[in-house]
Structure 1
Amino acid sequence: MWVVKIGGSVARDPELLPLWLELLAEHGGGRVIVVPGGGAFADEVRAAQRSWGFDDRVAHNMAVLAMAQTAMLMQGLNPALQPALNEHQIRQTLRRLRPALWVPLELLRQTPDELTNWDVTSDSLAVWLAKRLNAERLIVVKSCEVPDEWQPDWPALADAGVIDRGFAGFACDAPFPIGLINKAELERMRSLLIEPAQAMQQ
């Protein structure tokens, strides 16, 4: 079971987003869970919070809805991706040999907790989900330049703005490899899906 996070910036790319979704739908049946970023929808949440000054719990809930909107966009582009609201639905989808698309409405909160702040965005939530599912690995697809190695220096990448501030805390005890892939590396991802053990050694 793999978790693949498609960054919100990738979701803005009209050329590459459909190719990524096609790749994951074609080779991810029964083992891939797609985590959507918030993309432009989350940017609107940030702008609204600056204008209206509501608290981070409200912003968190709005950002969760932004991720859900991106998920619906992805499913609209590729109906082979099966929306799943929670862990049970994700596992059911994989048992049916379909690729799962996480719609994270279970993360809506009535009271603040460790997830309800801007240090924790969809990057950290992908780690959170992967740990709950006992995933084999997590791959985060980014638009920016990323290091090639698995388990790179997460705090340094957070300082550089590549991942969010909460990522390192969630990733530090993850019992699975975590890697970043640039959105242009479709063939590398294809190799990982087809020959995972061999590709990780390259």
Structure 2
Amino acid sequence: MHLIKIGGSLTYDAEPLLKTLKSYAKEKNKKIVIIPGGGEFANVVRNIDKALNISNSLSHKLAIKCMDLIGEVYAEIGDIKAYDTLFDLKREIEKEKIAILLPSKILLSTDIAEHSWAITSDSLSLYIGKLLDVREVIIATDVDGIYDKFPGGKLLNIINANDIKGLTSVDETFPILLKQFKMNAYVVNGKYPERVVYILEGKHNIYTKIIGIDKI
């Protein structure tokens, strides 16, 4: 099973990727689970939090629900079924091969994540990955990967989670959880669907691989 988080930054560009993944899953008989980011809906929650100083718990709850909203959008534009429980997802993905997970019911009922803006949908996708017992997560976003400095830096093809510092396209908790869960991740530009497919096929392309273990 492959887990792909499609960030909210791709909301207006996600349709080609979604349709490519749907075709790939059926043609190659591969199981793909898509986790949505919170997108612009989550930004609204951030602004409300900043203006009204609402509690961390409420911000956390609302931001997670935003992932469901983007997931509903992805389901429609990609013509992919969406599910809100792991039971339904695992059962139906045997037939459909691809599905979108609306994660709020799972994440809020288990309350497994810290209530903080230090945890975004990137880190939350790792929690889902742990529940699904996958060893790798693909983070499809609007940049090519992780750079040694930004802007104007060099794109890193591979990096240890221990070495991620400063401004990156993943949240600050992501490398910590990656090591804790002993998982690897790929950060890839989802505006180029073929790059995501190359990762699924184990082929080299433009992306950054993050190693969640002590040594590369």
Which residue type is aligned with residue 146 of structure 1?
A: G
Q: Which residue of 1 aligns with 2:209?
A: none
Report if the CA contact (8 A) 1:67-1:103 is conserved: yes
Aligned length: 193
Q: Which residue of 1 aligns with 2:22?
A: 25
Higher strand share: 2
Report if the CA contact (8 A) 1:28-1:98 is conserved: yes
Report if the CA contact (8 A) 1:68-1:103 is conserved: yes
Change (3 A) 1:104 1:137: same
Q: Pairwise CA RMSD of aligned residues?
A: 2.4
Which residue type is aligned with residue 83 of structure 1?
A: A
Unaligned 5+ runs, structure 1: none
Please state if 1:192 is matched with 2:185: no
Unaligned 5+ runs, structure 2: 147-155, 207-216
- 1:130-160 CA-to-partner distances (Å, cap 9, x unmatched) read 111111421101212314535x244654621
Q: Which residue of 1 aligns with 2:88?
A: 89
TM-score normalised according to structure 1 size? 0.85
Residue of 171, 174, 178 corresponding to 1:171? 178
Which residue type is aligned with residue 104 of structure 1?
A: P
Report if the CA contact (8 A) 2:140-2:196 is conserved: no
Q: Residue 168 of structure 1: SS of its match in structure 2?
A: helix
- 1:55-114 CA-to-partner distances (Å, cap 9, x unmatched) read 1110011111111100011111122x121112212211221133110101222269x763
Q: Which residue of 2 aligns with 1:135?
A: 134
The 1-side partners of 2:139 and 2:171 are apart by 12
Report if the CA contact (8 A) 2:198-2:205 is conserved: no
TM-score normalised according to structure 2 size? 0.79
Report if the CA contact (8 A) 2:141-2:188 is conserved: yes
Moved segments of 4+, more than 6 Å: none
The 1-side partners of 2:164 and 2:37 are apart by 18
